[in-house]
Structure 1
């Protein structure tokens, strides 16, 4: 029952991420017509510092709260006030270092930009508990109802500002207003309210669990954004903007699905942390379904990147095509990384989680050191090699903890990967032969590729397809459309 609930949760969380990032993508699509790569480059320069202070504000408390069984009102209060204090401290720190960041990049505008954008850290500290409670309950449908309106309204504001020539301020307004609206809506739909109580023993328990996740997450943020730091410093804000823009498009599919998996599998599977057999079975099911959806999506984006850019964006963004294609190759291993790391958290091995994170970050830094002088394409090729190599420790510890060996994991994802490669190879060959207008070529190839993948998944009886079909039919059978149809014709 829990396995089914978990997969349903993944789907709802995926839909939430899809709609939210889908709205974000549409907004980005429109903003790209009014903004230049340098505007996105300025935002990219600030992103690492905002992400670090957000992580400091959280400090792993949210994850500890989700994992905590039978959390009391006092536990929620303790987490809430802790996040609030940490949020104030994080913003004060960000406010103070803003001039140094501007000096580092030799970009004076960054001082004010960072101080204004940093307000999102304070805002986010007010909604972490509501989000944690909904995650504990696997209530991602409610989170969907909160996040989509926030994304839509903030996006509309950003487009209006961009049309009026606001430049990078349009992007900042979008992020601040989105965080504010999301917090307000979450407080409305999730009725938990803080009371005046605090327990230092609960804080100590949560912090001892969470600080290792915080350190691992901090390292992950720094190293993940290290590419932007280097590109912006060594090359230019425009080059950083192109890289950042390509990464945003990749995130539309990749990050939302991986985030959905992490958000759902962690709270759901924490309840079976002492049953390795059930834990392994549930993870296998989630891994198969996740990669079945992800593989064709990212490979199709890689193959059709050029017509996508020709149809959707002004010509000034075309240099980002090759960046997007290489990023999609890197993304193929994301589900394996995220699921194996979730296993460590579920089993309470945050020490191993931190150790693996340290190892991976060292590898990233070494690879980046040897590739940055050869250009951005070389940096991305290094990311591909690093992602493959870093999977080894991830998979090894999963095999030790729940006997889910790397060989089994590879065999579980192989059917979807091979079929995706075959379909996308055909799509690529057709894209080279067809001489249609870019928009018609894109629509035709996307339709053909998607239908072919679904058809052959059905014919080859791929297990992940059968799971997806069963879940879809279960969901559809409960819809009002289906019920009205059955009343009329059934």
Structure 2
């Protein structure tokens, strides 16, 4: 019988493969599309996606997470989840068809009518995929889920790039998005091997909805802090400026979202299994926070120093106004991952509504500060407000998690952060030395960026193999476990 540790290791491998592949694929995709499409195209897509994100909250309806969190489920529960999600997805698809003209008039963008109606098909596909992926994650079938996700991403983005070269504009993004979700839905449903029952399982749906309704509220607050924010800014900023803000926000979230997804998808099922074992749960949480900070905090330092080079590679010379926005917003990366970890803990304990209250406070603060700052100070004001809001959210997370574990701030948050701070200071010194030498030598910034990556990657591999303790306690433990497993297999 596989232990939690065995499941985490296997799941972690496949999630890492998925995340690395998705990062590379999406980097390439958006680097190409940023050179093929206009900023206005990205602005229109941001608005259309915002409306679809509203419907997706209800189309997914938290049923996938409810299946994972519930200790015992039957075929009736799975069918009830599918039935409920599909019903909500269809209803909101119809609503998108009806309200698209109103959205178009509100934003004064005629093209939004057809954009919203077509991309609304995504809601039907999401209603299927969300439950199927919940079944796969509950059963720790991360291999199958990762293979489907990777294949769907590569195929759909390849089609999107082709359409972009054929001058389809914003429609190349719409079609790529639709294909990605549809392919995932078919693949997840196939591997989940769900036996559909042609009867309405109201009792089981009600059991799941008590948790799922909390997830709807939670996702609503998440929506308002991401895609929903674009809808608010869409009325204040032009589509071109919104496109700039959207691309900066997207790049800013990549490290924390993908690394957070690894931890969330693995940790939530594992934490749900041991939700009644307080000490084990707190240790998993502390280690997750420590490991994520040890990776993401030094990465944040590196990205702040090389934001200009990141923009040149991912977006091109025509997006230079994005550089300062990124340098400001990159600072939120370590704080955002703490929120993701807290979400996993709280959901595993079934304390959804406590988390909803925390997120509502955070979202109100975010929307008020960002929209006000954008109105009076433009894009820079919006970026500063986003950073301040994330830090405010971090304080709320600390308060909530402390109540759950009844432990001190030092035990839960300060201790996991100290190794990361030390690593970040060392990395900052190395980068400053490199950039100073290149300025004296007269080398290009891009060459400095490439050489820095090569040097730091080599140094990281050397230290990981020879002196892992230099990389901090949490990295050391992780590396030693990986190397020990490798030696055993040999």
TM-score normalised according to structure 2 size: 0.92
Match of 2:302 among 277, 300, 303: 300
Provide the C-alpha distance between the structure 1 equivalents of 2:99 and 2:424, rounded to a whole number of angstroms. 46
Corresponding position: 1:51 with 2:53: yes
Taking the TM superposition and a 5 Å limit, the aligned residue runs for 1:119-268 are 119-268=121-270
Cα deviations by residue, 1:357-412 (Å, 9 ceiling, x for unpaired): 11111221332254221121122212222222222232222222223432221221
Provide the C-alpha distance between the structure 2 equivalents of 1:378 and 1:60, rounded to a whole number of angstroms. 34
Q: Could you say what the CA RMSD is over the residues aligned between the two structures, in angstroms?
A: 2.1
Q: Which shows bigger deviation, 93-102 or 305-314?
A: 305-314
Cα deviations by residue, 1:59-81 (Å, 9 ceiling, x for unpaired): 22221111112211011111111
Corresponding position: 1:407 with 2:410: yes
Q: Which shows bigger deviation, 285-294 or 221-230?
A: 221-230
- After TM superposition, give the deviation of residue 452 of structure 1 in Å: 4.5
Contact 1:304 1:428 in 2 (8 A): no
The number of residue pairs the alignment matches comes to: 480
Contact 1:280 1:403 in 2 (8 A): no
- After TM superposition, give the deviation of residue 147 of structure 1 in Å: 0.6
Cross-structure match for 1:320: 322
Local SS of the residue matching 2:321: helix
Q: Check 1:188–1:62 CA distance in 2 against 1; reply closer, same or farther (3 A cut).
A: closer
Give the gaps of 5 or more residues in structure 1: none
Q: Which shows bigger deviation, 7-16 or 268-277?
A: 7-16
Contact 1:288 1:412 in 2 (8 A): yes
Q: Check 1:401–1:90 CA distance in 2 against 1; reply closer, same or farther (3 A cut).
A: same
Provide the C-alpha distance between the structure 2 equivalents of 1:298 and 1:4, rounded to a whole number of angstroms. 31
Runs of 4+ in 1 over 6 A off after TM superposition: none
Taking the TM superposition and a 5 Å limit, the aligned residue runs for 1:314-393 are 314-372=316-374, 373-393=376-396
Cα deviations by residue, 1:189-218 (Å, 9 ceiling, x for unpaired): 332231223321221121122112211211
Match of 1:460 among 456, 464, 470: 470
- After TM superposition, give the deviation of residue 4 of structure 1 in Å: 5.5
Provide the C-alpha distance between the structure 1 equivalents of 2:256 and 2:200, rounded to a whole number of angstroms. 39
Local SS of the residue matching 1:351: helix
Match of 2:435 among 425, 431, 435: 431
Match of 1:64 among 63, 66, 77: 66
Local SS of the residue matching 1:32: helix
Cross-structure match for 2:398: 395
Cross-structure match for 2:78: 76
- After TM superposition, give the deviation of residue 303 of structure 1 in Å: 1.4
Provide the C-alpha distance between the structure 2 equivalents of 1:321 and 1:395, rounded to a whole number of angstroms. 31
Q: Check 1:458–1:208 CA distance in 2 against 1; reply closer, same or farther (3 A cut).
A: same
- After TM superposition, give the deviation of residue 181 of structure 1 in Å: 1.3
Cα deviations by residue, 1:232-290 (Å, 9 ceiling, x for unpaired): 32221111111211222233322111122122211111111111011111111222222
Provide the C-alpha distance between the structure 2 equivalents of 1:428 and 1:318, rounded to a whole number of angstroms. 22
